[in-house]
Chain A
Amino acid sequence: MKTLYDKLWDDHVVEDLGSGDHLIYIDRHFLHEVTSPQAFDGINKKNLRPWRVAANIATPDHNVPTTRGQNFELESIEDEVSKIQIIELDRNCNKFDIQQFDINSEQQGIVHVVGPENGFTLPGMTIVCGDSHTSTHGAFAALSMGIGTSEVEHVLATQCLRIKKLKNFRINLSGCPRPDVTSKDVILYVIRSIGTDGGTGHAIEFSGDYISSLSMESRMTICNMSIEAGAKVGLIAFDKMTESYLSDKVKLDKSEYDKALDYWKSLSSDSNAKFDKEIEIDVSKIKPQVSWGTSPEMTSDYDSCVPELNQNSDKYSTYKKAIEYMGLKEREKLSDLTFNKVFVGSCTNSRIEDLRLVASEVKDKRISENIEEALIVPGSGQVKLEAEKEGLDKIFIEAGFSWRDPGCSMCLGMNEDKLSPGDRCASTSNRNFEGRQGHMGRTHLVSPMMAARIAIHGGIPHE
């Protein structure tokens, strides 16, 4: 009796190398401009070529400007160092014939948005990328994980990874959520409950009737942030929802598709499979979540307060540092905070469903006077086109948002989209680390719905 993770693992073992090490075959390798140059350099120095070119898909995302417009010229990137990185990706992809959605492609975007929407992410695959949020693709019953640059080089050169098997952890999510609770709130609640190391050393499978009810977009949000709970692998079983999402994205002839579908249908944990760890969460009890600190586990209900410091707690020094950095007071009500920035985007929440949700909240309204900048950065060119087809861009612009071109943007503040010192930002991204969105910037992680409401109210609305 096997878990989904066991099945995916067993199907990809090329060789048992002893003492727990295994050589695992990699079906899909996503590349972006930031963690790949040193890896390409490595294979160049060894005079190697990518093992299986067709396994690789590339797009620049982390470091691209989001005010590009049409026919953007790389030359216009002011930061010389950033420019070189994007040119390097072009050069490496051209040299090895790797399929790239370059900066002017309509399909360019955040690699974890581009992969699934173009049918490059398929159930049963092993998927890696030099980016920790590769866990996103686990929503498709694929064994996917973030890797370091040495491993990127290893995968390019050998199409394999040398890794140890993880333990199995199941999180069963049941019940019907409040209408103002999204999958982002649920995953933040999970992280807050088990801690940012709760899933370390494990692959987390998310299951239960709540998961079954979710769209693929919402499932991707959950798996995306499994890394914030310490698990580099997040997984959800294949079901009708996965099948319907893939039906218009996978370009296969009928007999091949039917064969694939037969196999995909086997991609769930056996009913009596054993997990090393299991927890149950009733999502009907979850309120909208807002992070208050500098780690995703420092998250509370939207209608609660900053925690009280307890000198006897082992969390004292960590909490004290976080409260100081965030410019907060102990026991301060979260709803008393004033925000001046809003960011809607990132591989967690930049898909069409997220943008529709924001649009429904801000239609015919204006952002608060407190809000100096409110960015909406679609996850990909395709998301952008769809949003514009539906007229969402007009709703955003009329409400006072800045409507941008696709990229990682202010999730990590690598391009020009950064917080300034002291800014307080409601962000739909995944990390509230010190300086993550800009030097001395203060990030509060929220759902797209809460980000929209904060944009309108200038703070967390009272109910």
Chain B
Amino acid sequence: MSEFKNISGIACLLDIDNIDTDQIIPTEYLKSIKKFGFGDFLFDGWRYHDIANINTLTSSRSLNKDFILNQAPYNESKIIITGKNFGCGSSREHAVWALRDFGIETVIAESFGDIFYNNCFKNGVLPIALNQDELLMVKDYVSNESKLHISLADKNIAIKNEKIAFEVDSGMLDMIITGQDEVDITLSISKKIKSYESNRLKQKPWLN
């Protein structure tokens, strides 16, 4: 993601715990063999009245106008604020692809599913975990203000005159900012992998 030093934009509140990756993107869209084009299907079951079908044109679908992401200005959200354990369940990276393709750059939650959390960093989406009190401050703030500003350099969220600091692993944050390719980085030490591997297969030949 380019120029990803700060995140500033519309923040939408989905005040529910345990939003699983099946809600973020239903199984139907896992039939795609592509890595892009999932934005229309984000929260599909909540955004549309009709049944998910990968062959249906989005323009022909029946929108659920009561759902926040279908309402202005939240249809242009860059930030999602939610409860605990966001992204639990299935390992489908499609969930992060759907968030990214919709335009979501960060999700602020009390906690995240472990697999989803890792998947976020591979795709330029920043997961921010806050404690209950801090999260409540952010929730209160966005119930009156639609925009939120997050500084990645200072690792904080601006709430009126206050700044709420958040923790995120520097290496993982770098990955988002620079968009580095992990495969290339790992292959730069392929000699070490080879030497580990040949020792391992010598000591434990049944693994061959």
Chain B residues near A38 (CB-CB < 8 A)? 33-35, 93
The answer to whether A197 has its CB under 8 Å from any CB of chain B is: yes
Separation in Å of the A331 CB from the closest CB of chain B? Answer: 22
The answer to whether A242 has its CB under 8 Å from any CB of chain B is: no
Contact in complex: A230, B91 (CB < 8 Å) = no
Of chain B, the residue at the smallest CB distance from A63 is B31
Distance in angstroms between the alpha carbons of A135 and B60 in the assembled complex: 40
Interface residues as binary, A265-283 with B (CB distance below 8 Å gives 1, 0 otherwise) = 0000000000000000000
Distance in angstroms between the alpha carbons of A85 and B30 in the assembled complex: 10
Chain A residues near B169 (CB-CB < 8 A)? 19-20, 164
Distance in angstroms between the alpha carbons of A164 and B182 in the assembled complex: 15
Contact in complex: B186, A23 (CB < 8 Å) = yes
Contact in complex: A434, B18 (CB < 8 Å) = no
Distance in angstroms between the alpha carbons of A19 and B31 in the assembled complex: 37
Chain B residues near A124 (CB-CB < 8 A)? 204
Count of CB-CB pairs between chains A and B under 8 Å: 184
Known: A27-B207, A414-B28. A147 touches B91 (CB 8 A): yes
Chain A residues near B171 (CB-CB < 8 A)? 17-19, 21
The answer to whether A62 has its CB under 8 Å from any CB of chain B is: yes
Separation in Å of the B169 CB from the closest CB of chain A? Answer: 7
Among A23, A150, A317, A412, the residue within 8 A (CB) of B189 is A23
Interface of chain A residues 200 through 254 with chain B (CB within 8 A) = 200-201, 227-228, 230-232, 250, 252
The answer to whether A329 has its CB under 8 Å from any CB of chain B is: no
Contact in complex: A25, B33 (CB < 8 Å) = no
Among B55, B91, B186, the residue within 8 A (CB) of A162 is B186
Contact in complex: A434, B119 (CB < 8 Å) = no
Distance in angstroms between the alpha carbons of A160 and B186 in the assembled complex: 8
Among A62, A151, A263, the residue within 8 A (CB) of B118 is A151
Among B84, B89, B92, the residue within 8 A (CB) of A433 is B89
Separation in Å of the B152 CB from the closest CB of chain A? Answer: 17
Chain A residues near B88 (CB-CB < 8 A)? 196-197, 230
Chain B residues near A159 (CB-CB < 8 A)? 193, 197
Contact in complex: B85, A197 (CB < 8 Å) = yes
The answer to whether B15 has its CB under 8 Å from any CB of chain A is: yes
Contact in complex: A132, B115 (CB < 8 Å) = yes
Chain B interface residue count: which class? 35 or more
Known: A158-B183, A318-B17, A318-B18. A414 touches B31 (CB 8 A): yes
The answer to whether A154 has its CB under 8 Å from any CB of chain B is: yes
Interface residues as binary, A154-195 with B (CB distance below 8 Å gives 1, 0 otherwise) = 100111101110100000000000000000000000000000
Distance in angstroms between the alpha carbons of A165 and B96 in the assembled complex: 23
Contact in complex: B114, A150 (CB < 8 Å) = no
The answer to whether B9 has its CB under 8 Å from any CB of chain A is: no
Distance in angstroms between the alpha carbons of A87 and B197 in the assembled complex: 32
User: Interface centre among B45, B169, B183, by most A CB within 10 Å?
Assistant: B183
Known: A81-B55, A157-B183. A317 touches B22 (CB 8 A): no
Among B28, B33, B196, the residue within 8 A (CB) of A37 is B33
Distance in angstroms between the alpha carbons of A261 and B156 in the assembled complex: 52
**30 A-B pairs (CB sep. < 8 Å):** A19-B171, A23-B189, A23-B192, A23-B193, A34-B31, A38-B33, A42-B183, A48-B183, A54-B208, A62-B30, A81-B31, A148-B92, A150-B122, A151-B119, A158-B190, A162-B186, A166-B114, A196-B18, A200-B111, A227-B89, A230-B114, A252-B206, A256-B206, A263-B204, A317-B15, A412-B27, A433-B22, A434-B23, A435-B26, A439-B51
Besides the contacts A81-B31, A414-B28, what 4 more A-B pairs have beta carbons closer than 8 Å? A37-B33, A157-B186, A230-B114, A295-B20
Closest 6 pairs (CB-CB, A-B)? A37-B33, A150-B122, A148-B93, A148-B119, A197-B85, A146-B91
